[in-house]
Amino acid sequence: MMLVTGKEILDKAHKEGYAVGAFNVNNMEILQAVIAAAEEEKAPVIIQTSEGAIKYAGIDYLSTLVRLAAEKATVPVALHLDHGTTFETIIGCIRNGWTSVMIDGSHHPLEENIAVTNEVIKIAHACGVSVEAELGRLGGVEDNISVDEKDARLTHPDEAVKFVKETGVDSLAIAIGTAHGKYKGEPKLDFERLTTIKNLLNIPIVLHGASGVPEDAIQKAVSLGVNKINIDTDVRVAFTEGVKSVIVNKPEEYDPRKICGPAKDEMKKVVKAKMKLFGCSGKA
């Protein structure tokens, strides 16, 4: 199949009430593990690359690898830029075949976030590429922070309405208490805020920092309208555990295929479990 747009995958998820996994990919092994999982689960999938991934592997390598993976796949695959911050990277991705881009202007004040998002949308939409934006600051919401402080970080429903009205963005990443990377304590999600925002916006909602979030919280977030769930850390950990198991149990091994093979199996298991949890298994 040809690569499909992020919008095509997410609009269906929004309409039918499930979430699609968006997995960060930095090399061939991670990509193959994610695609194999999607095939076995008959799930649509979003392959996403950060600016760091592009720096590590090269925009041409990633573009060629993911396009090939999509063409060979029997399930819909979109190629998405995760946390795009510069105009140059975003245009580079559009020129190299990405079918979806994120412009992360969440660190800017509202008006500036709207302005940079609109600059990207104008070009991306003219090229048939979907756009995700972010409003609010990701980061754990610990019990000891004040209500005001919490409110300042998490996405404000009125601002979200203004943002979507003034940009026409295809999907919106919101801050409801998740954080990137490994959690120290258990993350607490603001489900009331999610419900309010979803009802007001009625567009696909994106959850970042979903690794390590308890399964029941993920299920609840999906039932309340999250349609794209970003996973990086849990797959990184699976890769590393797979590599470690070989190094520890067979220290004399030096064939990279025998070291990366078990890592691929570990990653595939994790990705399949996420797809089942998100409700996208069988939705291809």
CA dist 152 → 32, 43, 141, 155 (Å)? 40, 36, 11, 8
Q: Among 15, 16, 17, 52, which residue interacts with ligand G3H (rule: CB under 6 A)?
A: 52
Q: Which of 201, 203, 210, 238 binds ligand 13P (CB under 6 A)?
A: 210
Q: Does 208 bind Zn ion (CB under 5 A)?
A: yes
Q: What track of x and - describes contact with ligand G3H for positions 62 through 91 (by CB under 6 A)?
A: --------------------xx--------
Residue 190 among the catalytic residues = no
- In angstroms, the Cα distances linking 25 to 34, 51, 123 are 8, 11, 25
Given candidates 12, 125, 180, 188, which one binds ligand 13P under the rule CB under 6 A?
180
- 58 HSE (CA, 13 A, CB side): 5
Which 214-233 positions form the footprint of ligand 13P (CB under 6 A)? 230-233
Strand-pairing partners, residue 231, are 23
Which one of Zn ion, ligand 13P, ligand G3H, none interacts with residue 211, CB within 5 to 8 A by kind?
ligand 13P
Q: Which is nearer to ligand 13P, 75 or 206 (CB)?
A: 206
The answer to the question of residue 85 lying near ligand 13P (CB under 6 A) is no
Cα–Cα distances in angstroms (integers) from residue 66 to residues 99, 120, 153, 262, in the given order: 11, 23, 35, 21
> What is the contact surface with ligand G3H in residues (CB under 6 A)?
24, 50, 52-53, 82-83, 180, 232
Question: Catalytic residues, which ones?
Answer: 82
